[in-house]
Amino acid sequence: MKLDAKEPAGPLEQKWDRYLKDLKLVSPNNKRKHHVIVVGTGLAGASAAATLAELGYHISAFCIQDSARRAHSIAAQGGINAAKNYPGDGDSVWRLFYDTIKGGDYRSRESNVYRLAQNSNNIIDQCVAQGVPFAREYGGYLANRSFGGAQVSRTFYARGQTGQQLLLGAYSALSRQVSAGNIDMYARREMLDLVVVDGKARGIITRNLVTGELERYAADAVLLCTGGYGNVYFLSTNAKNSNVTAAWRCYKRGAFFANGCFTQIHPTCIPVHGDYQSKLTLMSESLRNDGRVWVPKNPEDSRPPQQIPEEDRDYYLERKYPSFGNLVPRDVASRNAKYVTDEGRGVGATGLSVYLDFRDSIKRLGRDVISQRYGNLFEMYERITDDNPYQVPMRIYPAVHYTMGGTWVDYNLMTTVPGLFCLGEANFSDHGANRLGASALMQGLSDGYFVIPYTMGQYIAGESFQAVDTEHDAFKEAENASRERLSKLLSINGNKTVLQFHKELGQFMWDYVGMSRNSEGLKKAISGISALKESFWNDVRVPGSNDTLNKSLEFAGRVADFLELGEVMARDALEREESCGGHFREEYQTPEGEALRNDDDFAYVAAWEHQESGPAVLHKEKLAFENVKLTQRSYK
């Protein structure tokens, strides 16, 4: 099968406009007859469900949490980008596009990224109209700040709770449509399988997480908005329920999974403090605007940070990257933290952290200004670590944060299964090998508010739909498969808990498929994870039963899928014999230790196709760059 991205023809700036001009429309009467399933109610899912319902489609929306408002998007702190150029510092759609494609180390599609930059401004307008209380200046106009990797101020924010406010905005739009009867909202449901009829996505199987019942839902299209898979590493900044299950079951039904190895390790997180640690907490990277990153020059230096004089400190980011300094992109900042800790210069009890110091900016701007900018983050830090960052530098370390890879989609956001679309972090589409700060919220809302209403409409208008009801054999088959899997998990009754397996998997992933990778390590990961999977299915202990709320059972199913995903990610990383963005292969680096891309051989999207027996098959979507010149990313 040849992957066709279905990018519209014409000059980059006109592709989306032309697409909209030539769009096939669905008449209002007909929209009502089409039922659409939206799985997930984060930024992508809630915005898509609300907008499609406003247009007249009949929507069923699903989420794992007890309310749509609690999706993982709620946790995003720092902000959302848009090319408004309100500060007048030279920003434009082109510049946002260029920064995003360069930031992604030239491993994303020009057409998708350009459309994203175009939509960015509409998002801010829409959110303000919903009542999202973005930060403002005294004149009453919207405030902006600059965020890692950008030289303009284009980030809009609502204190340190931007994701919360954007999600509550989308959730309010969704609630309005629920009350209008256009959306049926199903909370505490987990999608366990996709139902494919005559080659098209026509429904899903869910488990009611309160009663354990398996349920069938039929529709004319299915939108997968289920978020990222960072929890494959066990420890990450993702919420505990974030998972790959829905995407993985779709993979097994024919949806290709792309660029799995492109994961983002975020440089500013609170370091691990014990083996009971259940998740990691991000400290927004906006902190790098005013905090300076350093370690002692001498590995033996054990003085408390305040007593280490200027000449014995190494502000390594400022030293190595004078023009970007502490604001280098995430992958660069993370990798350098690893280098200095590998050299034994890390700080704290474990030696696995570096300082982020506000001393100088407190001196320069005063405590009040710093507290206004970061007060809630400082509070959060102190609550977790018991240290006061106004007095001692923060200690930070990289942690898994975001997954650029995901379900493969074409320009329409349609997967390789017709009628199955994928939006938000769950798809692979816009961030290449590295995502810039404040661009995931932008992508989720662009996909949901401004792309899918058109592209899905195009699909609906162009197809004829046979009525399919939930008594169809395909539903029975999928439901039975889910039931058997659940029974199997409960019946093993082995000696190890789900958590123990998850932690072991996470260790493989962090050690070998983490910040720095090499062929030998990746091979170790592949065989190690495969053995772990085998052991899981023979020795896991899942307590309780299927006919009640049973979180151990939910987590068991998710870890089982992570075990398969981990192997595919390691293979993807092994196959990609270059370094780019967050994917750093030790064999491929410049003499200064920077990522060395190989555009001749690897300027492609790696899309994996599941096989019933035998290993997954790799398909390549060649990336064409007609508008930007591929350069070595330099932040020196």
Partner 1 sequence: MTIYLNVWRQEGPDKPGRFETYTVPDVSPDMSFLEMFDVLNEQLTLEGKEPVEFDHDCREGICGSCNMVINGQAHGPNARTATCQLHMRSFKDGDTLFVEPWRASAFPVIKDLVVDRDAFDRIMEAGGYVSVNTGNAPDANSIPIDKVAADSAMDYAACIGCGACVAACPNASASLFVGAKLAHLSLLPQGQPERNRRVVNMVHQMKEEGFGDCSNHAECEAVCPKGISIAGIAAMRRDYVKAMLAAD
- Of 20-28, 59-67, 401-409, 623-631: span binding partner 1 (CB under 8 A): 59-67
Quick one: 140 or 304, whose CB is closer to partner 1? 140
CA 577 – CA 508 distance, rounded (Å): 20
Q: Does 213 bind partner 1 (CB under 8 A)?
A: no
Question: With the CA atoms of 57, 61, 67 and 72 taken in that order, what torsion angle do they form, in degrees rounded to the nearest 10?
Answer: -110
- Of 2-10, 236-244, 303-311, 615-623: span binding partner 1 (CB under 8 A): 236-244
Question: With the CA atoms of 224, 227, 163 and 274 taken in that order, what torsion angle do they form, in degrees rounded to the nearest 10?
Answer: 160
- Binders of partner 1 in range 368-397 (CB under 8 A): 380, 383-384, 386
Residues 6+ apart with CB under 8 A from 289: 145, 146, 326, 327
Partner in contact with 226, chosen from partner 1, ligand FAD, none, beta carbon below 5 to 8 Å by kind: ligand FAD
Q: Does 549 bind partner 1 (CB under 8 A)?
A: yes
3-state secondary structure of 605: strand
Q: Does 176 bind partner 1 (CB under 8 A)?
A: yes
| Tokens 């990257």, residue located | 321
Strands 58-62 and 35-39, by their bridges, are: parallel
- Binders of partner 1 in range 72-91 (CB under 8 A): 72, 74-75, 84, 86
| Tokens 């360069």, residue located | 102
Quick one: 377 or 529, whose CB is closer to ligand FAD? 377
Binder of partner 1 out of 37, 39, 124, 247 (CB under 8 A) = 124
Binder of partner 1 out of 278, 302, 307, 464 (CB under 8 A) = 278
- Of 178-186, 251-259, 477-485, 561-569: span binding partner 1 (CB under 8 A): 178-186
CA 70 – CA 253 distance, rounded (Å): 28
Q: Is residue 193 within a helix (H) or strand (E), and if so which, with residue range?
A: strand 189-197
CA 553 – CA 404 distance, rounded (Å): 28
Partner in contact with 246, chosen from partner 1, ligand FAD, none, beta carbon below 5 to 8 Å by kind: ligand FAD
Partner in contact with 78, chosen from ligand FAD, partner 1, none, beta carbon below 5 to 8 Å by kind: ligand FAD
Min. distance of Cβ 143 from partner 1 in angstroms?
Answer: 9
CA 526 – CA 296 distance, rounded (Å): 37
Q: Does 185 bind ligand FAD (CB under 6 A)?
A: no
Q: Does 67 bind partner 1 (CB under 8 A)?
A: yes
Residue 421 · residue 223 · CB < 8 Å: yes
Min. distance of Cβ 204 from partner 1 in angstroms?
Answer: 21
Residue 51 · residue 448 · CB < 8 Å: yes
- Binders of partner 1 in range 302-331 (CB under 8 A): none
Sketch the per residue contact string, 410 through 439, with ligand FAD: x for CB under 6 A, - otherwise.
Answer: --------------xxx-----------xx
Residues 6+ apart with CB under 8 A from 303: 296
Binder of ligand FAD out of 16, 19, 62, 378 (CB under 6 A) = 62
Sketch the per residue contact string, 184 through 203, with partner 1: x for CB under 8 A, - otherwise.
Answer: -x-x----------------
Q: Does 75 bind ligand FAD (CB under 6 A)?
A: yes
Q: Does 370 bind ligand FAD (CB under 6 A)?
A: no
CA 128 – CA 121 distance, rounded (Å): 11
Binder of partner 1 out of 10, 131, 322, 615 (CB under 8 A) = 131
Min. distance of Cβ 450 from partner 1 in angstroms?
Answer: 8
Residue 183 · residue 101 · CB < 8 Å: no
Binder of ligand FAD out of 127, 218, 246, 417 (CB under 6 A) = 246
Cα separations in angstroms, 18 against 13, 25, 321: 10, 14, 41
Min. distance of Cβ 70 from partner 1 in angstroms?
Answer: 4
Query: Would you give the distance in Å from CA 583 to the centre of its chain?
Result: 15
Residue 102 · residue 628 · CB < 8 Å: yes
Partner in contact with 402, chosen from ligand FAD, partner 1, none, beta carbon below 5 to 8 Å by kind: ligand FAD
Partner in contact with 67, chosen from ligand FAD, partner 1, none, beta carbon below 5 to 8 Å by kind: partner 1
- Residues facing 257 on adjacent strands: 407, 608
Binder of partner 1 out of 141, 368, 538, 586 (CB under 8 A) = 141
Q: Does 126 bind ligand FAD (CB under 6 A)?
A: no
- Of 158-166, 408-416, 570-578, 610-618: span binding partner 1 (CB under 8 A): 158-166
- Binders of ligand FAD in range 267-306 (CB under 6 A): 282
Binder of ligand FAD out of 26, 38, 44, 400 (CB under 6 A) = 44
Active site positions, annotated:
330
Q: Does 458 bind partner 1 (CB under 8 A)?
A: no
Residues 6+ apart with CB under 8 A from 437: 78, 79, 147, 148, 149, 150, 155, 285, 330
Partner in contact with 388, chosen from ligand FAD, partner 1, none, beta carbon below 5 to 8 Å by kind: none
Q: Does 71 bind ligand FAD (CB under 6 A)?
A: yes
Quick one: 276 or 613, whose CB is closer to partner 1? 276
Residues 6+ apart with CB under 8 A from 438: 78, 79, 80, 81, 147, 154, 155
Quick one: 274 or 614, whose CB is closer to partner 1? 274
Q: Following DSSP, what letter does each residue of 217-283 receive, concatenated?
A: EE-SEEEE-----GGGGSSSSS-TT--SHHHHHHHHTT--EE-TT-EEEEEEEPPP--TT-----B-
Q: Does 54 bind partner 1 (CB under 8 A)?
A: yes
Amino acid in the structure at residue 328? V
CA 488 – CA 227 distance, rounded (Å): 27
Tokens (6 digits) for 43: 């930024």
Residues lying near ligand FAD in the complex (CB under 6 A): 39-45, 62-65, 71-73, 75-80, 162-163, 189-191, 225-228, 237-238, 242-243, 245-246, 282, 401-402, 424-426, 438-441, 444
